[in-house]
Chains A and B, each alone.
Chain A
């Protein structure tokens, strides 16, 4: 039931001077108005946006607090959150509300005033919910998860929690290796929520309404029953033993129903899947203030460093008709002035051209709508397209060659050639763009000094492309190239899951070398924080023992680690030292193929032997065809749908 507006218009007060004020009484704000006004951007704590859902608390069986463990403006830009919010709220028996990390000033108010963390919609305390569910998008949000638990008054470790505490669950890309945060989470959902989250809710409701199950037994019974649900991992039903060399000996199920392997859940037919039909329109400007139209899931390219390219297989597209209908509805329900087409590689969408024609000719021109197209390959088709949608304001154009030398691009299976890059940039310059951003990675497997210096050479060659264009045809203003490097972080479920990550010292010397080589006259160089990348490497491939480090670092003040202004490496260093855990064991150690990896019990549908083969091919610089060209039998056919079963020409 949507909250009725009329109910809130109460208390018309007449003052003696004769003015009538139609005062709307506020739904009880958890933080009193005047304290709220002492914080920055108070609008992020009040809910009540257009399309936010309100339900009568007495009419639902399940209360779900859905949390993106970062700031409102970040979380509200995330499509997944919006999808789950719509999915859960489309159930009559469930009321799903949002929770974000409060900003530091608000956190201080909560602590000083002794107010527990609350959900936006009903403003009620998290501790009163049935579920607290986290979407975990990046490893550096782990301490924020702990902070949310603490601010809510919930014990950080699952084993210390009360029966009455909410059931804490998590999903998202990071939980494909759930082990570093397994101690804090009651159960993990592996895969896409649309696939079987409903089944989990049904099970819970059934048990909650079962008069034979006492309230203080509900959580235990539920977690035990979850062992029979596909895609669910309940960490407390497993133990891990270690070898003398500290690698994993075995993961032991402690219950006869605890599966040896947890299978990823996906939706095969995206056209039949519920989508974020009525997304919330935030008042505060989020990072991405626009309609997001999801073209397809998965990626056919198979870049060997890219986790998303493997965990989201197989490629599954939405049909043109579905996207046209969804776009039209979303424009009407939100009033946004921009539509963004998203996917991992939008140029690969089969119906990109007719979809853009529809959006530009039928909608954009009439309604003054902007279209944005991230993740396009830079070729003449996409530049033409961008010319059509971007008018005269040529913002910068971004290429991601990822590596400077062709040799290295073959190692990582980035299917573009130097010619593609140079032609693409020349076309971009002719097309009127003079600001070009380039993304590279340092520290890729087998990287040599030549590979690093090739980044600088390639950048110079791009600048030369600009000057090879006759002056009258060049865009106005001078050419500006921005080269950014990040440090390579090996991720689970990629062909590089076994490789040694560079150490801090190696990263820094590589960065120094590149910095010295880059011609600063036309090129600006940015680089990531090497310490953060190292830590991210530890978290990404960590095991259960890392939980202690996360907890200690959190207790010593770590939070918002993904924010450079809040990240303090020394806190983490101290935690590693104190616990006698060597970060290099996790980050910069080459694994053998026969080592038991912490995430081996998760089954993403891609065979480990395929990843192994891909790794061996990478060392021989052999390129693997993408899924559109040829099936390499990675194992994703087990899902019985998507690109694996489409005709290839």
Chain B
């Protein structure tokens, strides 16, 4: 039985990197006692995957994990209860849906993600009050330097991947393309903004920093459907 769960990763858990989190999940599932399936072979491992890994320092209220149980018809409310009972503070399972038949894996189903980027007061003054911000977003293309997997630095246009860009008080609310075809990380966007405005912020200080919160991940933009709501069974 395949299941997709939605969870939040907040508070202290924002400091736990993706690989540590993967080891953390293995232990959570072991403690919970749910009948998770293991791969075959000499070195069996639990079958689960994360839809879109989150960088250290980013909180989220919409993370997704696909997992496989070795039984059918497991009660989903029970599963949520069992897992939540043993989750560390900061991780809460919010929803679970069964994936019936052949379904696109969470990782491949991602189309976009929304983020709230909260700027420190001082940084907000420098960035959000700048007239340049409007001209920044009105560009036809926004070229950034990005390292590819081989370590080579390429030019990369992030403008097509910025799907929403709203200023809310001291924060930016953005929707960015997420997934295998086009993937824009919010830090990359922030870097492009700083570069355009002419702010150097390589290391955070007590006054100059921003917080990123991922709100949700979507599999469809019209209508807007999250990774769990967009599951079509049957």
Task: Assess whether A322 is interfacial by the CB under 8 Å rule.
Answer: no
Query: Which of chain A's residues have a CB closer than 8 A to the CB of B28?
Result: 335
Does the CB pair A21–B86 fall under 8 Å? no
Report yes or no: B168 in contact with A16, Cβ–Cβ below 8 A.
yes
B230 within 8 A of A: no
> In the complex, what distance in Å separates the CA atom of A589 from the CA atom of B89?
56
Q: Which of B72-129 contact A (CB under 8 A)?
A: 86, 88-90, 114, 116, 120
Residues in B neighbouring A281, C-beta threshold 8 A: 27
Among the 9-residue stretches B36-44, B130-138, B143-151, B177-185, the one with 4 or more Cβ atoms under 8 Å from chain A is B36-44
- The residues of B that contact A368 with a CB separation of less than 8 Å are 38, 44
Q: Does B194 contact A (CB under 8 A)?
A: no
B11 sits at the interface (CB 8 A): yes
- Contact partner of A334 among B16, B27, B57, B173, CB < 8 A? B27
Q: Is residue B26 contacting chain A, with contact meaning CB distance below 8 A?
A: yes
> Closest CB of chain B to A47's CB: distance in Å?
8
Q: Is the interface of B mostly helix, strand, loop or mixed?
A: mixed
Q: Which residue of B lies closest to A391 (CB)?
A: B42
Cα distance A50–B88 when bound, in Å?
6
Q: How far is the CB of B71 from chain A (nearest CB, A)?
A: 15
> 1/0 per position for A485-529, CB-CB distance to B under 8 A?
000000000000000000000000000000000000000000000
> A residues within 8 A CB of B56?
37, 42
B207 CB → nearest A CB, Å? 9
Distance to closest chain B CB from A22 (angstroms): 6
Known A-B contacts A15-B168, A43-B16, A283-B20; A337 and B173 likewise in contact (beta carbons under 8 Å): no
B116–A21 touching, CB < 8 Å: yes
Q: Report yes or no: B24 in contact with A283, Cβ–Cβ below 8 A.
A: yes
A364 CB, nearest partner CB in chain B, Å = 11
Does A15 lie within 8 Å of B116, measured CB to CB? yes
In the complex, the answer to whether A285 meets B23 with C-beta atoms within 8 Å is yes
Query: Which of A26-34, A58-66, A472-480 touches B?
Result: A26-34
Cβ contact within 8 Å between B43 and A393:
yes
A612 at interface by CB-CB < 8 Å: no
B residues less than 8 Å from A57 (CB atoms): none
Whether A17 contacts B57 by the Cβ 8 Å rule is no
Report the Cα distance A393→B23, complex, angstroms: 20
Residue pair B116, A19 in contact (C-beta under 8 Å): yes
Chain B residue with the shortest CB-CB distance to A5: B89
Instruction: Kindly state whether residue A620 has any CB partner on chain B within 8 Å.
Output: no
Q: Is the CB of B27 within 8 A of A336?
A: yes
Partner of B10, one of A22, A49, A332, A336: A22
Q: Which residues of B contact A50 (CB under 8 A)?
A: 27, 31, 86, 88
B232 touches A (CB below 8 Å):
no
Q: Please determine whether A46 and B27 come into contact, CB atoms closer than 8 angstroms.
A: no
- Roughly how many angstroms separate A21 CA and B17 CA in the complex, as a whole number? 21
A332, B32: Cα distance in complex, Å? 9
Q: Could you tell me the distance in whole angstroms from the C-beta of B25 to the nearest C-beta in chain A?
A: 10
A12 to B189, CA, bound (A): 27
- Interface status of B203 (Cβ within 8 A of chain A): yes
Within 8 A of B (CB), among A440-465: none
Known A-B contacts A15-B171, A21-B213, A368-B38; the reply to A284 vs B20 at CB < 8 A is: yes
| B31, A332: Cβ atoms closer than 8 Å | yes
Q: Taking the complex as formed, is B205 at the interface, i.e. its CB lies under 8 A from any CB of chain A?
A: yes
* Residue A367 lies at the interface, judged by CB distance under 8 Å to chain B: yes
Contact present for A334 and B204 (CB under 8 Å): no
Distance in angstroms between the alpha carbons of A33 and B57 in the assembled complex: 8
Given A34-B205, A283-B20, A336-B27, verify A19-B215 contact (CB < 8 Å): yes
Beta-carbon contact of B11 and A17 below 8 Å? no
A35 partner, pick from B27, B89, B204, beta carbons under 8 A: B204
A302 to B20, CA, bound (A): 41
A8-B11, A15-B168, A15-B171 known; A38 and B204 CB under 8 Å? yes
Among residues of A, the one whose C-beta sits closest to the C-beta of B171 is A15
Q: Is B206 an interface residue (CB 8 A)?
A: yes
Interface membership of A48, Cβ < 8 A: yes
The verdict on A274 contacting chain B, using a C-beta distance below 8 Å, is: no
Query: Would you call A35 and B206 a contact (CB within 8 A)?
Result: yes
- Assess whether B42 is in contact with A46, with CB atoms less than 8 Å apart: no
Taking CB atoms and an 8 Å cut-off, the chain B residues in 10-62 that contact chain A are: 10-12, 15-17, 20-21, 23-24, 26-31, 38, 42-44, 56-57, 59, 61
Q: Cβ of B30 and Cβ of A32 under 8 Å apart?
A: no
B8 interface hit (Cβ, 8 Å): yes
Q: Which residues of A contact B215 (CB under 8 A)?
A: 19, 21
Of the candidates B15, B26, B31, B213, the one whose C-beta lies within 8 Å of that of A333 is B31
The residue on A at minimum CB distance from B45 is A368
* Chain B residue at smallest Cβ distance from A331: B30
Whether, in the assembled complex, A416 has its beta carbon less than 8 Å from a beta carbon of chain B, the answer is: no
CA gap between A19 and B120 in the complex, in Å: 20
Q: How far is the CA of A33 from the CA of B12 in the complex (A)?
A: 10
- A108 CB, min distance to chain B CBs, angstroms: 12
The reply to whether A48 and B12 contact each other, CB–CB distance below 8 Å, is yes
Q: Is A354 at the interface (CB under 8 A from chain B)?
A: no
**Chain A CB within 10 Å — which of B31, B38, B206 has the most?**
B31
Choose one: A21, A32, A336; the contact of B61 (CB below 8 Å).
Answer: A21
B204 touches A8 (CB 8 A): no
Mark out the residues of chain A between 1 and 25 whose CB falls within 8 Å of any chain B CB in the assembled complex.
Answer: 5, 8, 15-17, 19, 21-25
> Are B42 and A392 in contact (CB-based, < 8 A)?
yes
- Determine if A289 is an interface residue (Cβ-Cβ < 8 Å): yes
Is the C-beta of B166 less than 8 angstroms from some C-beta in chain A? Answer: yes
Closest to A392 in B: B42
Check: A36 CB closer than 8 A to any chain B CB. Answer: yes
Q: Assuming the A-B contacts A43-B17, A335-B27, A368-B44, are A37 and B88 also in contact, with contact meaning beta carbons closer than 8 angstroms in the complex?
A: no
| B206 CB, min distance to chain A CBs, angstroms | 6
Q: Residue of B at shortest CB range from A336?
A: B27
Note all chain A residues with C-beta closer than 8 A to B20. Answer: 43, 283-285
CB-CB contacts below 8 Å: B137-196 with A: 166, 168-169, 171, 173
Nearest Cβ in chain B — how far from A299, in angstroms?
32
In the complex, what residues of B have CB within 8 A of residue A289's CB? 23
Per the bound structure, the CA–CA distance linking A334 and B27 in Å amounts to 7
Instruction: Write out the residue numbers on chain A whose beta carbons fall within 8 Å of the beta carbon of B168.
Output: 15-17
CA A285 to CA B20, docked complex, whole Å? 7
Give bound CA distance, A38 to B208, whole Å.
Answer: 13
Pair B114/A367 contact, Cβ less than 8 Å? no
Contact of B30 among A16, A38, A337 (CB under 8 A): A337
Measured CA separation A21–B21 after assembly (Å): 22
Q: Please judge, given known A-B contacts A8-B89, A285-B20, whether A15 and B57 are in contact too, CB under 8 Å.
A: no
B31 in contact with A49 (CB, 8 Å): no
Min CB distance B50 to A, Å, is: 15
Residues of A with C-beta under 8 A to B120: 34
Q: Once bound together, how far apart are the Cα atoms of A336 and B30, in whole Å? A: 8
Q: Given known contacts A22-B8, A48-B89, is B204 in contact with A34 (CB within 8 Å)?
A: yes
Report the minimum CB–CB distance from A503 to chain B (whole Å). Answer: 45
A19 to B168, CA, bound (A): 12
A282 to chain B, nearest CB (A): 9
A379-406: which have CB < 8 Å to B? 391-393
- Excluding A21-B213, A48-B12, A391-B42, 12 further A-B contacts by CB distance (< 8 Å) are A16-B169, A19-B114, A33-B209, A34-B206, A37-B204, A46-B15, A50-B88, A281-B27, A333-B31, A335-B29, A336-B30, A393-B42
Residues of chain A having any CB pair with chain B under 8 Å: 5, 8, 15-17, 19, 21-27, 32-38, 42-43, 46-50, 113, 281, 283-285, 289, 331-337, 367-368, 391-393
Q: Can you list 22 residue pairs at the A/B interface with Cβ under 8 Å?
A: A5-B89, A17-B166, A17-B173, A23-B213, A24-B10, A26-B12, A34-B120, A34-B205, A34-B206, A35-B205, A37-B57, A42-B56, A46-B12, A48-B12, A48-B90, A49-B88, A283-B16, A333-B31, A335-B28, A335-B30, A335-B31, A393-B43
**Closest 4 pairs (CB-CB, A-B):** A335-B27, A34-B209, A335-B30, A34-B204
B residues near A, CB below 8 A? 8, 10-12, 15-17, 20-21, 23-24, 26-31, 38, 42-44, 56-57, 59, 61, 86, 88-90, 114, 116, 120, 166, 168-169, 171, 173, 203-206, 209, 211, 213, 215
